[in-house]
Each structure stands twice: as structure tokens, then as C-alpha cells.
Structure 1
Amino acid sequence: MLPQNRLGFGSAAIGNLYTTVDPSTAQQAVETAWENGIRYFDTAPHYGLGLAEKRLGAALAQYPRDDYVLSSKVGRLLVPAHQRSAVEHGFEVDEPLRRVWDFSRDGVLRSIEQSLTRLSTDRLDIVYLHDPDDHWPQAVGEAAPALAGLRDQGVIRAFGAGMNQSAMLTRFVRETSVDVVLLAGRLTLLDSSATKDLLPAAREHDVTVVAAGVFNSGLLARPRPAQNAKYDYVQAPAELITRARAIADVCTTHGVTLPEAAIAYPLRFSEVTSVLLGMRSPTEVTENVRCYEVSVPEALWEDLAGKGLTGA
């Protein structure tokens, strides 16, 4: 089963990404997503050292397992640590665990088993190789075949890779039997580089694309980009802030906001089945759903392209 929802719930935020989220707010965020028809939920061991998986699993336990698609990731095993964690990788956590890179066959199997325990479920629909940028030989030589075997045995329904770059994802599409890829940040109003490599490959090999990071770490998340906005997890360069504001101005002339256009942009491409948005509270869920439901006129894309503000 591949994502059918055009809008998916990304759980990194409820794993205490950048700020602490209390358990009840996390629970309500998932419930609000469900009430608004969202049926694709994505998580990973990396998110809060397993906290996101635990919270997502607890919230989803009240719903029929066959009624939603659940994905998690492999590549970072969680192992005991000698001291409890503080803020690490942007996640505010307090657990005696640490992350260890492992794309071996055994690591894949152990990671899935641990994720199932944290999620309190009997199966994952999709398993992604998580950020294998520096681990291509082991990821393609051990992890990908292991996941392909689990898929062929019916243990999981699909497998793929999730990354912040399109070049290696394109290699996965062309050189392995992935069913779906999760691309963050490279199919957005500010960076459409995936249109040149990943999308043509996905079309050729009948691979599904899920788009994430459509706000580019926050630069496109507000109607008017702030001067201190982040881009790809760091302070945005001045020239990108200027360009984002120019895009926002064009959006305004067409009666839409920058975040509304940012969500709609990747869904213009037939290879993209879903946009995955991080959501930490009922308010964020409601606002994301509202933005997603806005009808964006085709004239906006033509105007942006004509002014050289977007690449596709």
C-alpha cells in the first residue's frame, strides 16, 4: 500500500523537534489529523530518540489498523548510552539512548523490530532508508535487498529511501527496486532541482514520490518571510529571503498566500502522490489542512515562471 492521501502527517515535531511538545498536545494533533481525513502517517527512530514513534503509535491505537498507511525508517539504530541525552540533532529529549548508523541487513531487521515495539503495532506499510548519503555501499548492498525481501514476503508493503537530495534518490530509483521515495526540500518553490533528475526517473520506473520539506525549514511557512527565517535547517541567506518575498508578493496578487502555494507546488507533478507536513499541535494541523484545501490558480505558476522566480 502506498500513500493515497494527498496530505500526510509528519511526526518529527511531536518528537520534540526544536521545542518540547506535551503528550496531550501530541495526541490531539494526531486525532485532529484523523478527524480531517489524513490517513498517511510518517515517523522514524531518529525523531526524538523514538519519542515520535511512541506518541504516534499511542495516538493511532484507537483506529482500525487497516484504515491508514504507516511508514517508518531504518539506518539509525537506537542503542543504550552511558548518559541521558539533552538537545541533540534539534530534538529536546531526555533518554539514555544514542543513534548509531547501521544499514546492514541485521541492523535493518533490528530497527524494524524496535520500531514495531515503540509503535505498538504489528506491521509497517512502508520502510524508508533514512539519509543514507554517506552509506551508499551498505545501503544499496545490504539494506535495500533486505527490505526488498521483506516486501516480497509480504512483511512490509513497500520500501524506499528518504533523503534531502535528489541525486542519490535517483540512483535508488534506477538501480534498486524501490517502490517509493521521500524527498525533502528539493521540490519546492525555491528549489525544484528534482524536476531534472528524480521525477523523470520516477516516471520511467513507476516509482511514487512523497514530497516533504516544502517550506524549506520555515522560509516558506509564513505569508511574509521573516528576516531570521531558516532554510535547510540554518539561517537563510539574504538573497533567498529576498526571492521568497518576491514569490510571496506574486502569490498575493493571485489571492493566495506563500504557504498555500508552497504546499500546492509539488502536487502539480503527476509523480507526486503526497505532501508530508510536520505538525505539532491541533492548531498547526488545522492550518495546514486549510492551506492544502485552497485552490491555487494555474495563472500563479505561469506568472512565477515568467518572472524567473521558480524553475518549473
Structure 2
Amino acid sequence: MSQFQQRSLGNTHIQMDSLGFGCAPLGNLYQQVENRDAEAVLSQAWNAGFRYFDTAPHYGQGLSERRLGDVLRPHLGQDYLLSTKVGRLLKPAGYAKERHCYHSPMPFDIHYDYSYDGIMRSFEDSIQRLGLDRIDILYMHDIGEVTHGDANEAYFKEAMSGGYKAMDELRSQGLVSAIGLGVNEYQVCEAALEHGDWDCFLLAGRYTLLEQESLHSFLPKCEQRNCSIIVGGAYNSGILATGTKTKGTLYYDYGPAPETVIEKVRKLEQLCEEFELPLAAAALQFPLAHPAVVSVIPGMSNERRIQQTLDLFSHDIPNEFWQTLRQRQLVEEATPLPCDS
């Protein structure tokens, strides 16, 4: 049974845990994880009370889905939520040491396909890789200019016509319970709102302690339409977890952090030091103060990180910290904060 507070997902019957488990690291993102270690961390997560798991075909080119399915299969019939993504088909490509930032992935490469047939094929392939009898939430993955550049206009048109039609049919037939987008750009989610009835968006890195631009128009529209937000990338690719005083490269948005970002993190870090609390705890708890946000899903690659995440998530943060955060203009003025409730 889940130990976390649950929130309603959009207009669906789904009750989602406020803390979920992101499975990208279990596809060997940036570093290799052995099969036995992947099984151990997922089993530990289950025993610790995690019941929402998010994966994707892209994570290790099928590896994360296979590993997650193997651990969840003994729990069939029990109360858990599973989300995966569509939009990438996997084609045989031979073994490789590294592919798309994933080390020792499955021997496939990706082919983007947001058509009706492509989405249906992607859904069916995921069911087979997972070896499970259901997928609860289906996200259209990485539609947007960051991924597709100049080709995005054509991809987006196809995704909002044939791709959306397929996802809507899967939902209508009860094969999935909710549909949405899983992306790194709030702008493409805002555009998608004009093309379909979406239940939720998994938004990575665009509503965090570090940046709140999505507050200006996108998040209010989600509130109006009762479309829920699941926050991925709450640490903005690492800099809000490590802070600025660690040795080595500081990462933001999947690359080295620019100086402007580092300087803002230094100010956040200084405030946290004044209150003697971890920067990562504030970063993890921050998004859930927004009424549209139902869950935050950090990635965890080892058993130590599970307990560390639980400690950060439950860390007591005084209202005075959040009030000072606003007074020093370290967040946008209209940002909802935990001290407001």
C-alpha cells in the first residue's frame, strides 16, 4: 500500500501518489546499471511504498521497460500505477556501447512515428516488452522543437491528428486510463491543449525551484481545464540536487550549466544554508504547492538514492523559508508556495 499523499489526476478516476519513481536511470542513462542492481532498486522502491512508476521505450531502447515489467509482474492485481510513452518505434540496430546517452542499451535504435499506426504499434510493443496486462497512463513522448528542430511542425501536425486519435481510442476502449504528453517544453503542451482532451502532462524541468516561466499562461490553462501536471526533472538535470559547491561539471537541462543558472542556484543555496536545510529537499517539495501539480517523479538508480529521496521528501521545511524565498524574489511573484496553504 502506498505511503504517500494521493491526488486526483485530472477528470479521471486515478488517484496518484505525490511522489513517484522515474525509471530513466534503469535504462542505463549516463552510466550502466547491472540487471541485478536494477532489480534490487525496483524491489526496494516497492518495499518502501512507491506505487507509481514511469518508463519509456526510449530509456535504454527498451531496457527500462523490460526491467520494470520483470519486477512488477509478481504484483499483478495489486494497486500500482504504470505510465509509459509512445512516439518512438524501436528498430534493430546491433549492439552499441552507448546510444542516445544510454550505456549498453538494447540493440535497437529509435524511429520517430507519431501517426495513428505508429502510436498503436508503439503501445502494443510496450505491452510486449513490459510483459504486463495494462498501461495506466500513456504519454506522447518528446514532441517539440527541442527534439525535432525544424521538422517539428510536420511531426506536431501528425501527432495532433493521427497520433491523438489513436491515444483517444485507447482511452475510450479502456486500454489506458489517461493520456497526455511527456516533454521538456511547456509550450508544446500549451499548443496541444488546443487540439485534444488531455488528462495530464509530464513536464520535465520547466516548473522547478529554478524556473517558473510556465506560470504565465500554461499552468493557469491547466487549472481551468483540470489537466494535471506530473513534474519530472525537479532537480533541473542535477544542479538543484548537487548545488554549486561540488567538484566537477554542474549540469542543467542535460548539459553544462550556464553561469546565469549557476549564479541563481548559488542564491538559492545560500538561503538553504541559512535555514540549515538541503537544497534538494526544497527542490523536491516545491512543485507540489501548485494546485495543478499532482506528483513529482525523481529518477533513482540505486538503493541508497531511494532512502535519500524519502528523507528529502519528508524533510521539515519551515514556512519562514518559503516566505523568505518570495521576499528575496528568488521565485516568480505569483508562485504558489507550501506556506500559502
User: TM-score, structure 2 length as denominator?
Assistant: 0.88
Instruction: Tell me whether 1:128 sits opposite 2:139 in the alignment.
Output: yes
TM-superposed CA distance for 1:40, in Å, is 0.4
Tell me the number of residue pairs that the alignment of Structure 1 and Structure 2 aligns.
311
**In structure 2, what is the equivalent of residue 230 of structure 1?**
251
Amino acid at match of 2:51: R
- Mean CA deviation greater in 144-153 or 290-299: 290-299
Moved more, 174-183 or 1-10: 1-10
Following TM superposition, by how much is the alpha carbon of 1:94 offset from its aligned partner in structure 2, in angstroms?
4.5
Alignment of 1:85 with 2:96, yes or no, is yes
2:243–2:265 CA contact under 8 A, matched in 1: no
Counterpart of 1:36? 48
Q: Does 1:96 align with 2:111?
A: no
Aligned to 1:287: 308
Q: Which of 269, 287, 291 is matched with 1:266 structurally?
A: 287
1:56 aligns with 2:84: no
Counterpart of 1:21 in structure 2 is 33
Deviates more, 1:99-108 or 1:190-199: 190-199
Q: In the alignment, which residue of structure 2 is the partner of 1:145?
A: 165
1:181 and 2:192 equivalent?
A: no
Equivalence for 1:107:
118
Q: Secondary structure at the match of 1:248?
A: helix
Q: Pick from 225, 232, 236: which aligns with 1:212? A: 232
The Cα of 1:66 is off from its aligned counterpart by 4.0
* Aligned partners of 1:248 and 1:258 also within 8 Å: yes
CA contact 1:174–1:205 (8 Å) conserved in 2: no
Is the 1:164–1:184 contact (alpha carbons within 8 Å) kept by the matching residues of 2? yes
Q: Distance in 2 between matches of 1:99 and 1:74?
A: 11
2:207 paired with 1:196: no
TM-score for both structures, normalised by structure 1: 0.96
Say whether the 8 Å CA contact 2:62–2:106 is kept in structure 1.
Answer: no
Work out the CA distance in 2 between the residues paired with 1:84 and 1:272: 39
Alignment-mate amino acid for residue 77 of structure 1 = L
SS of equivalent residue, structure 2 residue 201 = strand
Mapped to 2, the partners of 1:174 and 1:203 lie a distance apart of 15
Which of 17, 42, 57 is the equivalent residue of 1:45? Answer: 57
Which letter maps to 1:22? E
The residue number in structure 1 matching 2:88 is 76
Contact 1:173 1:207 survives alignment (8 Å): no
Shift of 1:86: 2.7
**CA distance in structure 2 between the partners assigned to 1:125 and 1:138 by the alignment:** 24
| Partner Cα separation in structure 2 for residue 104 and residue 269 of structure 1 | 33
Q: 1:231 to 1:245 in 2, by over 3 A?
A: same
Deviation at 1:262, TM superposition (A): 0.3
Distance (whole Å) between structure 2 residues aligned to residue 153 and residue 277 of structure 1: 31
4+ residue runs of structure 1 moved beyond 4 angstroms?
A: none
SS in 2 for 1:221: helix
**2:10 aligns to what?**
none
Per-residue CA distance 1:148-182 (angstroms, 9 max, x = gap): 11101111111000111111111223431110100
Q: Which residue of 1 aligns with 2:4?
A: none
For residues 285 and 71 of structure 1, do their structure 2 counterparts lie closer, same or farther at Cα, with a shift above 3 Å needed?
Answer: same
| Contact 2:88/2:141 (8 A) holds in 1 | yes
State the 1:305 CA deviation.
Answer: 2.0
Paired AA for residue 290 in structure 1: D
Identity across the alignment (%):
36
Per-residue deviation at 1:139?
0.9
Cα pair 1:127 1:159 within 8 Å, conserved: yes
Q: Deviations over 1:259-282 (max 9, x none)?
A: 000001101111101001111111
For 1:162 and 1:94, the matched residues in 2 are separated by: 21
Tell me how far apart the structure 2 counterparts of residues 71 and 187 of structure 1 sit (CA, whole Å).
20
**Unaligned stretches of 5+ in structure 2?**
1-12, 145-151, 336-341
